[in-house]
Amino acid sequence: MAKQKSDSDKSAMIARGRLKEARKLFAHRGWEVLPQGIRGQLILKWVADHAWLAYPANPKGAVRRHCGQLAPWLKEDGLAELIATTAESNKKWSHDQSATVLEISMRDGRALGFRFLGCDDDPTYERRLKIKRAKNAARARKYRASRSTGAKRGRPKSEGVPAWVAAGASSKATYYRHLEAGKSETQNASRHISNNKKRDGNSVSLGGVTEFCATHRQRGALEAPPPPHRPIVVRLEDIPDGLIVDQDGVEFGGGAKNPIG
């Protein structure tokens, strides 16, 4: 039920749009009333069908109102017969079928800006598709131009010597492997210095980190600091005679032979 109502609303909208554009066409041609003859009768039948669809609440009144204005020579009997005929018609019109009855060329339709009426000189739609593609291409060019940075399309080329060549690496893989190793050393140095800072409370600058990493790379591995020097204590009485001589050449030792003092 809802779908039928939606289809009916769509048909009414299209019919009203076509009637509006038809009145615009008649004014463009200078028609206050339709021409009499076969041409005028076909147009009047088209108007009656669309008036019926455009106003489903009162279709007979809509047919009488629109057709009575365009064909004032019709008497009451003629209008009643037209209404009865319209009630039995299928009322299925396409854009191009409507344009064929109204004799609208593609040039006229484009000049008047018709949306609900087609044309009678492009049956395969080839010319209109060509125009549509040209419009889409122009719209796309305008869109790209508004967002263009002026740079050439594609991936930008690197300028100068590649970084891995300038660094003297044998290959790009070797360069990035050493680069990652350097990052790892910097992180280890930062942790090492941070731990020392927590332990002794001293602050370390970034230059210290850099110097530590440079020293570490020169050594090739992180070496432990040497142990502090311990003094050697020797008891003089334990030294053999003649082992130590002072500046005057006198033996210096312990024991009973050379007492200290």
* Residue pLDDT, tens place only, 69-95: 999 999 899 999 999 999 999 999 999
The Cα 66–Cα 44 span in angstroms is 9
Q: How many CB atoms lie within 10 A of CB 117?
A: 25
Domain presence at residue 162: no
* Percent of the chain whose pLDDT exceeds 90: 50
Same-domain check for residues 34 and 105: yes
Give residue 190's domain range. Answer: 169-219
Domain presence at residue 164: no
Amino acid identity for residue 35 in this structure? P
* End position of a domain, from candidates 113, 131, 149: 131
Same-domain check for residues 210 and 91: no
* End position of a domain, from candidates 131, 160, 184: 131
Same-domain check for residues 118 and 8: yes
- pLDDT for res 35: 93
* Residue pLDDT, tens place only, 188-241: 655 655 555 545 555 444 455 455 555 555 554 445 556 666 666 556 566 565
- pLDDT for res 176: 78
| pTM assigned to the model | 0.55
- Sorting pLDDT into bands at 50, 70 and 90, what band is 258? very low
Domain presence at residue 140: no
Same-domain check for residues 10 and 99: yes
Same-domain check for residues 15 and 100: yes
Domain presence at residue 72: yes
C-beta of residue 186 within 8 angstroms of C-beta of residue 213: yes
- pLDDT for res 204: 46
Domain presence at residue 150: no
Same-domain check for residues 18 and 112: yes
Same-domain check for residues 87 and 181: no
Greater pLDDT, 120 or 153: 120
- pLDDT for res 157: 62
Domain presence at residue 248: no
Same-domain check for residues 115 and 201: no
As for how many domains the chain has, the answer is: 2
Domain presence at residue 230: no
Same-domain check for residues 124 and 195: no
Domain presence at residue 21: yes
Greater pLDDT, 216 or 30: 30
Same-domain check for residues 35 and 110: yes
Same-domain check for residues 105 and 179: no
